[in-house]
Amino acid sequence: MIVVTGAAGFIGSVMVGKFNKEGHEDLVLVDDFTNHQKNKNLENKVFLEKIDRDIFFEWLDKNHNDVDFIIHIGARTDTAEFDVAIFNKLNLNYSKKMWLKCTAYDIPLIYASSAATYGMGELGYSDNHEIVDKLQPLNPYGESKNEFDKWALKQKDIPPFWAGFKFFNVYGPNEYHKGRMASVILHAFKQINKTGKMKLFKSHHPDFENGKQLRDFVYVKDLTDVLFYFMQNPKSSGLYNLGTGTARSFLDLTTSTFSAMKKEYIINFIDTPIDIRDKYQYFTEADMKKVRDYGYTNQFTTLEEGVDEYVKDYLALENYF
């Protein structure tokens, strides 16, 4: 059987859907299942059972012989949360325990890291292990992810296979519950529906025009395709970037959303708030060479294609994947 943590969340629930699509119903889902809105992500999914995250390790001690693989996506992902104790508990220490259990029970492990580990990108966006100790994340969330990556790389006792994926800017269905942490596409859709306009941050950097700040936006279905491929082909353990390898602007993203909604573009630029201005990233782009060298050859969905599908097939109809 396959364990998916964070299974009721955005990426986790799409991962469960991917497994179902590929014929896997032998799934054990792990999460805090008290959020009714998140649980809607799991309607119509097929699985064996749900286990609360607080008792999962007790369950694993009893059932580890039946577990073939663990996909550990569950984490606190709020970049505006500054209580380090929360991240230590839910991200760093929980992941360490997961690693130690997988090592003891000989279970392969894939886990979610984050592009937030790269900070301002001073050292670039290469998933080279040599730079991990030198990275300077901008918030406790990014720090928690980088601290675990650093810890994992230092371990002599390891699972039979492991891969940590640095997710870049993920968007797509099943993020209705995420509130302010949802993708810009979801916020744009809501704002355009309500006002007919979209507000974007001005550029406060001489090298970038307004709206031309760049991010690597990756469609969640592409992301789960990569994770599934690595699970099926467990060869070289390590850290891997997971974006598209092509940075796109917020202007591109916004105009694509207007197009999918069949509305005229009306975009207003507002000042980036002072409290985040000095930490605002103007460019992120995943170096995808390691994933390509691993053997993954599928093309990534273009921003225009991904936004069009997300808006028309999900947001406009309030559908779930």
Helix (DSSP H) and strand (DSSP E) numbers for the chain: 12, 13
Mean pLDDT of 164-183: 95
Banded pLDDT at 76 (limits 50, 70, 90): low
Banded pLDDT at 79 (limits 50, 70, 90): low
Would you say 45 and 28 are in contact if contact means Cβ atoms under 8 Å apart?
no
Would you say 217 and 253 are in contact if contact means Cβ atoms under 8 Å apart?
yes
Mean pLDDT of 194-200: 95
- Across the chain, where does the E strand assignment appear? 2-5, 27-31, 49-52, 69-72, 109-114, 162-167, 169-171, 198-201, 214-215, 217-219, 238-242, 248-249, 267-270
Buried b (16+ CB within 10 A) or exposed e, 264-300: eeebeeeebeeeeeeeeeebbbbbbebbeebebeeeb
Report if residue 46 sits inside a domain: yes
Would you say 95 and 149 are in contact if contact means Cβ atoms under 8 Å apart?
no
Stretch among 63-77, 162-176, 237-251 having the lowest mean pLDDT:
63-77
85 pLDDT above the threshold of 60: yes
Q: pTM here?
A: 0.95
Would you say 15 and 30 are in contact if contact means Cβ atoms under 8 Å apart?
no
Could you say which DSSP state residue 298 is in?
P
218 pLDDT above the threshold of 90: yes
Mean pLDDT of 179-205: 94
Number of domains in the chain: 1
Q: Strands 267-270 and 109-114, how do they pair? A: unpaired
Mean pLDDT of 220-239: 98
Cα–Cα distances (Å) from 165 to 47, 109, 174, 187, in that order, read 24, 11, 20, 25
Mean pLDDT of 82-89: 68
pLDDT, residue 165, reads 98
Distance in angstroms (rounded) separating the CA atoms of residues 138 and 281? 10
Could you say which DSSP state residue 134 is in?
G
Report if residue 196 sits inside a domain: no
287 pLDDT above the threshold of 70: yes
- Shortest CA distance to 198 belongs to which of 253, 262, 254? 254
Report if residue 232 sits inside a domain: yes
Would you say 269 and 210 are in contact if contact means Cβ atoms under 8 Å apart?
yes
Stretch among 79-83, 125-129, 228-232 having the lowest mean pLDDT:
79-83
87 pLDDT above the threshold of 80: no
pLDDT, residue 81, reads 56
Q: Which domain holds residue 90?
A: 2-171+216-246+283-300
Distance in angstroms (rounded) separating the CA atoms of residues 17 and 223? 13
Q: Strands 214-215 and 248-249, how do they pair? A: antiparallel
pLDDT in tens, 62-72: 999 999 999 99
Distance in angstroms (rounded) separating the CA atoms of residues 140 and 219? 25
Report if residue 275 sits inside a domain: no
78 pLDDT above the threshold of 70: no
pLDDT, residue 77, reads 60
Report if residue 93 sits inside a domain: yes
Name the most confidently modeled range: 68-77, 81-90, 187-196, 278-287.
187-196
Distance in angstroms (rounded) separating the CA atoms of residues 38 and 6? 10
pLDDT in tens, 149-159: 999 999 999 99
The tokens of 203 are what? Answer: 């550029």
Mean pLDDT of 271-281: 84
Report if residue 198 sits inside a domain: no
Mean pLDDT of 222-227: 98
Report if residue 309 sits inside a domain: no
Q: What are phi and psi of 201, to 5 degrees?
A: -70, 140
Report if residue 204 sits inside a domain: no
User: Looking at the annotation, which residues are catalytic?
Assistant: 141, 178
pLDDT, residue 91, reads 75
In sequence order, what DSSP letters do the residues of 22-63 get, joined into one string?
TT---EEEEE-TT-HHHHGGGTT---SEEEEGGGHHHHHHHH
pLDDT in tens, 6-64: 999 999 999 999 999 999 999 999 999 999 999 999 999 999 999 999 999 999 999 99
31 contacts: CB under 8 Å, gap ≥ 6: 5, 6, 7, 8, 9, 12, 38, 50, 52, 53, 74
Q: For all residues of the chain together, what is the average pLDDT?
A: 94
pLDDT in tens, 96-138: 999 999 999 999 999 999 999 999 999 999 999 999 999 999 8
Cα–Cα distances (Å) from 102 to 70, 145, 162, 184, 210, in that order, read 8, 18, 9, 35, 47
Mean pLDDT of 190-213: 94
Q: State the CATH number of the domain containing residue 24.
A: 3.40.50.720
296 pLDDT above the threshold of 60: yes
253 pLDDT above the threshold of 60: yes
